[in-house]
Structure 1
């Protein structure tokens, strides 16, 4: 489920309005803006620098942290988290999606104040993974689990990219029962997972179908991988 078929999706992050152009007629799913990217950003916005008792204060303290986003698509998640303090982030996707991503980065450059870094990344390409100079403090991934054949590569790439003490911020919605089953089986081998309670999501972006998970690498995974 997309939020809308409108060609432009607007996402307000604090005092900045992001404008994301999408092409739902494309054969590539990465040219559409999918809900979980927005859900993740608004969750982070709710808790970043919150004065209330904040269980996510350390998680969302992005100072001096390197990050990479997998399956960036139109770029909404990384752009939003950049506006919340994540200054060193590289946005990755397959070559076919790069024109749409770069178009959205260009149209939002006045709001962002700088051009964010991009890189081509196919999850099964070890040379492209190595070229990103891992490991990263934060790996961002939203709405990336929908094809069973890609799941093993996704989990492997994620584990290779994140630091032993790093974190994966995952925006998730069930798209394929087969992909979902395999994804969580493989994640359970590599990561400890924490599901963000729905009441902790942004109240205007707390959709029943969308979840935010926090994944951290299991201590023994480095030895077993």
Structure 2
């Protein structure tokens, strides 16, 4: 199945991606089976780039030393998300930096909305790359997010970073959709079947055909990923970005990255 996939460029990303197209309802299931078969995520190290017991994550990106505060004590609380960083966030952030360095992605001056920003690493890196970023999350996650944005933007930064409340499925504030974002980012946002409908609802409201979406995620639950892909291809062209295009030092068999463009 993989060899027959169409390789093409999607949206504003200059690299070729493997476009997911299927003629039968089993297509999403085949994609997830293929991923688990090839990457075998359960056999590789979990949290290769992060530590959930640490109060902060230190990472060099775009010539800056980022210090991202975490809240390990909140990790086990029911319903709490975004308290710590996951590998998928580090992978996505370093992918953006790598793609900009290669000249196959331009973020300078572009409007970017990040969904489920959590601790804010991905949005911070996008801003360091020159984007005008709006980082969003649930109301109870904004305090930590604002702290990280403020503490990492004290010196000469090309872009900007603002924090805003957004609950998936609710109508977004007008400044999120007008003008439409050039890019929408999300890491580890595909984590439960219950959240898939609301996530796709927000993506549909935020995106126009000229918007490019990058989503990275941890390969934990094939049923949840299958549910997302099956629903996403109805309104979006979906492509998988091969790990050969990621930052060479930040690749993991436990992570997958997709690009979406509205049909």
- TM-score class, shorter: 0.7 to 0.9
1:153 corresponds to: 198
1:107 corresponds to: 151
| 2:126–2:133 contact (8 Å) kept in structure 1 | no
Post-superposition Cα deviations, 1:97-118, rounded to whole Å, max 9, x if no partner, equal 0011011112212256486211
Q: Which of the residues 162, 167, 172 maps onto 1:122?
A: 167
| 1:17–1:111 contact (8 Å) kept in structure 2 | no
**Do structure 1's residue 98 and structure 2's residue 151 form an aligned pair?**
no
User: How far has the Cα of 1:129 moved from its partner?
Assistant: 4.5
1:140 corresponds to: 185
Tell me, which stretches of 5 or more residues in structure 1 are unaligned? 219-225
The equivalences for 1:1-225 within 5 A come to 1-2=46-47, 3-5=50-52, 6-26=54-74, 27=77, 28-50=80-102, 57=104, 60-86=105-131, 88-111=132-155, 113=157, 116-126=161-171, 128-130=172-174, 132-134=176-178, 135-218=180-263
CA distance in 1, matches of 2:208, 2:156: 27
CA distance in 2, matches of 1:160, 1:129: 11
| 2:95–2:246 contact (8 Å) kept in structure 1 | yes
User: How far has the Cα of 1:133 moved from its partner?
Assistant: 3.2
Count of matched residue pairs: 209
Given the two structures, how large is their TM-score scaled by the length of structure 1?
A: 0.86
CA distance in 1, matches of 2:192, 2:112: 24
| 2:211–2:262 contact (8 Å) kept in structure 1 | yes
CA distance in 1, matches of 2:182, 2:261: 11
Post-superposition Cα deviations, 1:20-68, rounded to whole Å, max 9, x if no partner, equal 0111220222111111111011112222132xxx6xx2xx212332110
CA distance in 2, matches of 1:131, 1:123: 16
1:222 corresponds to: none
Larger radius of gyration: 2
Tell me, which stretches of 5 or more residues in structure 2 are unaligned? 1-45
State the Cα RMSD in Å: 1.8
CA distance in 1, matches of 2:144, 2:93: 20
CA distance in 2, matches of 1:94, 1:194: 28
Structure with greater contact order relative to length (CA < 8 Å, sep ≥ 6): 2
